């Protein structure tokens, strides 16, 4: 058994899963969490966008033997249900393959599941409601407060899994001369509402879809919950006529929903209360470098690469961190943490930068292009290529359903495919291919253009 000690700051999704991985390898793991134990606390409303668990995240959970337990608290979503201002609906599958879907899951329920598993290990100590006072990155030392008592712990490695506002990252930024960190916030924020259950666990709208009301400068999405409700999330600018800073009167909120979301408004009986009581959350991207300091302190998950939620990959990217971390650790014959951290950083940094950029791209696509005629034409062709052609994956599918392909590879290939297909669909003589032979000819055409 390995007696080295690891300190993990943050018992969120990434920190908990990483703790499970390390404890099973025999490391002594101490986890510090500023929040209360989520197993004993109800989720605070309005502060957590529903999560979309897809293949990359499931691959990491499977490696830890946790995938089946997670699936039991998931609702499969087969595609997007697009709602226009007239109340018309259009279903857009995520791919042309029936086995491809993403899963709606409660962040709190998943966190409880992981912490419960983490807490079963005799190699793990978890401190909840614990404030981190200081991180000594030269000694791998954590100063923290439990109750009214200030203490410290020394570790072989301190891992910052403490989210976008990471104290570990801020300490590194302050004390490492060549450390570079950027935080880019959108001019949009988010606010949560709720479509309650229709009663007895029944759903008011299709439970197997991610619902989107795209309105160019703003949009609303809704994801299903296990109890028959939907978590509804508004994404609006702060300023302007549809800005959160302007929509602050009951009449204005009613008029706004009547004008832009007439089919949604009747589904939210507590609209005014939800809108006024739930906070406005920020949406931002964090990039930094380096991710470690001399193999003594390391960043993972959102602490290293927070992204906006519009590709549904934030949690999946963090879980993929754990998958790669576990893989590298297993492949090294002797552990030198400096060498390990370099390998981990080299593997993950380019890919996490790629998914951050793709998530920003998808923000524009979800609020605007999903209702655009040319985009619809391209998506229709992609569905036919994926369903009846041989071996075609759209950009979205490469990212979401090809866990064997890195984010960076998926971004490069997917963006090029989008360019080729948009040009192909814009041709004056364009017609949808009908036979399997014609579809495969289009796929061959795309492959040839990719190789040029």
pLDDT at 1 over 50: no
- Residue 155 parent element (H or E): none
Cα–Cα–Cα angle for 279, 284, 289, rounded to 5 degrees: 140
For residues 14 and 388, give the distance between their C-alpha atoms in angstroms, rounded to a whole number.
Answer: 37
pLDDT at 25 over 70: yes
Mean pLDDT of the 304-310 span: 95
What stretches of 54-148 adopt beta strand conformation (E)?
Answer: 74-77, 79-83, 89-93, 102-105, 124-127, 130-136, 141-146
> 69-73, 180-184, 373-377 — which is least confidently predicted?
373-377
> 75-84, 174-183, 257-266, 355-364 — which is least confidently predicted?
355-364
| DSSP 8-class letter at 406 | -
What stretches of 128-279 adopt beta strand conformation (E)?
Answer: 130-136, 141-146, 149-154, 157-160, 180-195, 209-215, 218-224, 230-237
Q: Taking Cα atoms as reference points, which of 207, 232, 209 lies closest to residue 222? A: 232
pLDDT at 244 over 70: yes
For residues 95 and 101, give the distance between their C-alpha atoms in angstroms, rounded to a whole number.
Answer: 8
pLDDT at 259 over 50: yes
- pLDDT at position 218 is 93
Residues whose CB is less than 8 angstroms from the CB of residue 169 and which lie 6 or more positions away in sequence, other chains included? 160, 181, 286, 288, 299, 303, 304
Say which residue, 385 or 47, is predicted with more confidence. Answer: 385
- Collapsed DSSP state (helix, strand, coil) of residue 235: strand
Domain with CATH 3.50.50.60 in the chain: 5-74+104-182+285-363
pLDDT at 76 over 50: yes
pLDDT at 45 over 90: no
> In sequence order, what are the beta bridge partners of 215?
218
Residue 185 φ then ψ, to 5°: -100, 140
Compute the half-sphere exposure of residue 290: CA atoms within 13 Å on the CB side of its CA: 18
For residues 171 and 176, give the distance between their C-alpha atoms in angstroms, rounded to a whole number.
Answer: 8
- Enter the tokens of residue 2: 């390995």
pLDDT at 269 over 60: yes
CATH homologous superfamily of 5-74+104-182+285-363 equals: FAD/NAD(P)-binding domain (3.50.50.60)
- pLDDT at position 409 is 98
DSSP 274-312: HHHHSPPEEEEEEEEE-SEETTTEEE-THHHH---STTS
Q: What pTM value is reported for the model?
A: 0.94
- pLDDT at position 89 is 96
Residues whose CB is less than 8 angstroms from the CB of residue 107 and which lie 6 or more positions away in sequence, other chains included? 13, 43, 48, 49, 50, 51, 315
pLDDT confidence bin for 198, thresholds 50/70/90: very high
For residues 307 and 318, give the distance between their C-alpha atoms in angstroms, rounded to a whole number.
Answer: 10
Q: Which of 40-44, 128-132, 360-364 is the most confident on average?
A: 128-132
């Amino acid at each position: 058994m390995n007696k080295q000690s690891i300190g993990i700051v943050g018992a969120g999704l990434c920190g908990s899963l990483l703790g499970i991985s390390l404890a099973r390898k025999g490391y002594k793991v101490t986890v510090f969490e500023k929040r209360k134990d989520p197993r004993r606390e109800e989720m605070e409303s309005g502060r957590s966008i529903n999560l979309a668990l897809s293949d990359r995240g499931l691959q990491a959970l499977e490696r830890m033997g946790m995938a089946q337990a997670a699936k039991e608290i998931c609702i499969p979503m087969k595609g997007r249900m697009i709602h226009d201002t007239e109340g018309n609906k259009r279903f857009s599958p995520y791919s042309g393959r029936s086995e491809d879907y993403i899963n709606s899951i409660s962040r709190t329920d998943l966190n409880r599941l992981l912490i419960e598993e983490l807490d079963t290990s005799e190699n793990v100590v978890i401190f909840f409601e614990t404030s981190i006072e200081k991180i000594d990155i030269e000694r791998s030392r954590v100063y923290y407060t439990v109750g009214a008592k200030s203490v410290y712990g020394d570790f072989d490695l301190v891992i910052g899994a403490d989210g976008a506002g990471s104290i570990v990252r801020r300490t590194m930024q302050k004390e490492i001369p060549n450390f570079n960190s950027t935080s880019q916030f959108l001019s949009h924020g988010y606010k949560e509402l709720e479509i309650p259950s229709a009663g007895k666990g029944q759903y008011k709208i299709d439970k197997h879809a991610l619902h989107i009301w795209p309105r160019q400068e703003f949009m609303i999405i809704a994801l299903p919950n296990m109890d028959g409700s939907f978590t509804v999330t508004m994404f609006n600018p702060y300023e302007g006529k549809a800005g959160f800073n302007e929509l602050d009167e009951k009449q204005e909120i009613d008029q706004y929903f009547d004008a832009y979301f007439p089919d949604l408004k009747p589904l939210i009986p507590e609209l005014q209360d939800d809108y006024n009581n739930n906070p406005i959350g920020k949406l931002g991207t964090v990039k930094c470098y380096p991710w470690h300091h001399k193999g003594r302190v390391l960043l993972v998950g959102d602490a290293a690469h927070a992204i906006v939620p519009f590709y549904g990959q934030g949690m999946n990217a963090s879980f993929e961190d754990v998958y790669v971390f576990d893989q590298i650790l297993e492949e090294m014959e002797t552990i030198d943490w400096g060498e390990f951290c370099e390998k981990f950083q080299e593997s993950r940094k380019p890919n996490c930068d790629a998914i951050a950029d793709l998530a920003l791209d998808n923000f524009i696509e979800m609020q605007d292009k999903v209702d655009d005629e040319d985009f619809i034409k391209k998506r229709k062709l992609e569905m036919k290529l994926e369903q009846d052609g041989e071996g075609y994956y759209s950009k979205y599918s490469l990212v979401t359903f090809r866990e064997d392909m890195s984010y960076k590879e998926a971004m490069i290939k997917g963006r090029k495919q989008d360019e080729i297909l948009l040009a192909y669909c814009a041709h004056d003589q364009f017609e949808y291919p009908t036979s399997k032979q014609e579809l495969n000819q289009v796929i061959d055409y795309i492959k040839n253009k990719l190789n040029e």
